[in-house]
Amino acid sequence: MVPKVHAGGLEIMGMGGGGELDNEESSSSGKIIILKMKRFASKGWVRTLKLGREDPRRVIHAFKVGLSLTLVSLLYLLEPLFKGIGQNAIWAVMTVVVVLEFTAGATLCKGLNRGLGTLLAGLLAFLIEYIANASGRVCHALFIGAAVFLIGAASTYMRFFPYIKKNYDYGVVIFLLTFNLITVSSYRVENVLKIAHDRFFTIAIGCGICLLMSLLIFPNWSGEDLHNSTVFKLEGLAYSIQACVHEYFKQHDEHDIEGSIKSSSDHEDPIYQGYKAVLDSKSTDETLALHASWEPRHSRYCYRFPWQQYVKVGAVLRQFGYTVVALHGCLRTEIQTPRSIRALFKDPCIRLAAEVSKVLSELASSVRNRRHCSPEILSDHLHEALQDLNTAIKSHPRLFLGSDDTKAGGQHKKQSKKKTSSSSLSSVKTDSCALQEWKSKRMNYEEAVLSERKSLRPQLSKMAITSLELSEALPFAAFASLLVETVAKLDLVIEEVQQLGRLASFEDFTHEAREDEVVVTCEKPRLDVMHNHLPSHVD
């Protein structure tokens, strides 16, 4: 009931008003649901378009899978093909769904494993069937059971071998599945040969369609993905080192440091994005190298490259990346060197980081263009920047060792403590009553301390750490040490990249080719574009 006021008095509304309110609420809730559905649909459409723009190969692969399924479905749709194959056409559909992968190497690996496993399982099943038929009806069942047990146990045990696990695990699984289906079915079905023939024939049709789509229609090569990922990892490390040093000297006070920590936790840090692909690359590199080893070597994009050497380069880059992670961690520590002290070492640190970044960029350019790196890749500028940093640190020794007043004060405090302790102990030893009193007080004090430790855990707060008599330049010493460590690890990276160039027969270095490359690659790498071209699909 809703009261309605008029000039002459108070009037009560009828029951219809409540129904109108319910209708309005239901209509508003329906509008909210429709609005949410529209927003969800628009967001889904935007993300779908973004996913396709990041890597157009995903769209092409989706169309290739759809076309392959359509072609293999003709075995069911066309009457002549269905009469010849029958219900076994389902194996062709299953083969296309399982075998057709994003890259040609992955498809070849799975397709050949599936075909080889099916062929070997069929041949072994025929041999078991031939021996079992000659042994009688009862012995037939026992022989089949024993064969299934032995072959199943042996095949499963073989999967634990590292080489078989790495290269032929899928083939062993298909071999075990096909052998059991054919062998067990042979006890109830007379024409086992026709079943095995139809299944092998349909699997061959499915594998053939997959290989046709992967190798001839817009192929995606695992070798090219591995090659490009190595280039992008080198560029990402080069960007991270230079950006990290600039960010370290750009911070002005503790407020800016805390703000940078909060912003990096809320949003993706570009420095982290630079070395993220390096840290997560181990399994990806090994899988791409395995698939690249199955790809044909005479095609347009695949050369006689030692794919395992790319894995070694990735391992060295991960070791280098761990140093960059520690260098990045210096930006987020709670204790920071004051700006006035950091300014003393700003120029040599920035120049050293720029030279390290330049070396990594040169290595990335050499791998991208498949040529040897410059013989003067470790230029004199790098050594000069390193010597300047060393000279700057040696010119301010008191920043890292502490002041003499602090040491003198510490020694004075120690001497005074020794004097008071010696005097107190001497006085205690002269009086037995005082000795017992001191012992009782000591026991009470130890019990109080023990109970306090049990109740409250000791915590190292920022105030407790900063109260220690340490030098304010020690955090910068850690930062400078890690920066010098990147220079030391450059030799390992250069050695592995040069070994890659020798094994892959890269072109010799020429200054003319280097000048042409500088015009193209002089721009700073964009991390968002870089990560979009990393391998987007790995099994």
Do residue 187 and residue 232 come from a single domain? no
Q: What share of the chain is helix, strand, coil (3-state, %, to 5)?
A: 80, 0, 20
CA end-to-end distance (rounded Å), the chain: 67
**pTM for this predicted structure:** 0.73
Predicted local confidence at residue 22, as pLDDT:
60
A 10 A CB-CB count for 382 gives 19
Do 297 and 352 belong to one domain?
yes
410 belongs to a structural domain: no
Residue 532: inside a domain, yes or no?
no
- What pLDDT does 411 receive? 46
CA 457 to chain CA centroid, Å, is 37
304 shares its domain with 324: yes
Residues in Cβ contact with 108 at an 8 Å cutoff, skipping those fewer than 6 apart: 211, 214, 215, 291, 294, 295
Q: How far apart are the C-alpha atoms of 91 and 369, rounded to whole Å?
A: 44
Determine the pLDDT at residue 20: 59
Low-confidence residues of the chain: pLDDT under 70: 1-26, 136-138, 251-268, 297-304, 398-472, 511-539
**Amino acid residing at 367:** V
Task: Mark whether 284 and 319 lie in a shared domain.
Answer: yes
DSSP for 192-225, written as a single string? HHHHHHHHHHHHHHHHHHHHHHHHHSS---HHHH
Structure tokens at 164: 């078989």
Let me know if residue 38 belongs to a domain.
no
> How do residues 460-483 score in pLDDT, each as one tens digit?
444 444 444 456 678 888 888 899
pLDDT of residue 424: 38
Task: Find the domain containing 496 and state its range.
Answer: 222-250+269-401+446-509
Regarding whether 303 and 187 lie in a shared domain, the answer is no
Count of structural domains, the chain: 2
At 169 the pLDDT is 92
Q: Are residues 296 and 385 in the same domain?
A: yes
Does a structural domain hold residue 537? Answer: no
* 202 and 277 assigned to the same domain: no
CATH, residue 302: 1.20.58
- φ/ψ of 163, rounded to 5, equals -65, -45
Place of tokens 């069911």: 76
The verdict on residue 422 lying in a domain is no
Same domain, 186 and 240: no
Q: Is residue 256 part of a domain?
A: no
Residues 56 and 186 in one domain: yes
Q: State both tokens at 93.
A: 């559909």
Examine residue 518 and state whether it is found in any structural domain, yes or no. Answer: no
* Claim to verify: residue 346 and residue 292 sit in the same structural domain: yes
Statement to judge: residues 203 and 229 lie in one domain = no
Query: Contact, 324 vs 497, CB < 8 A?
Result: no
Would you state the pLDDT for residue 443?
A: 65
58 with 121, same domain: the answer is yes
Task: Please check whether residue 382 lies inside any domain of the structure.
Answer: yes
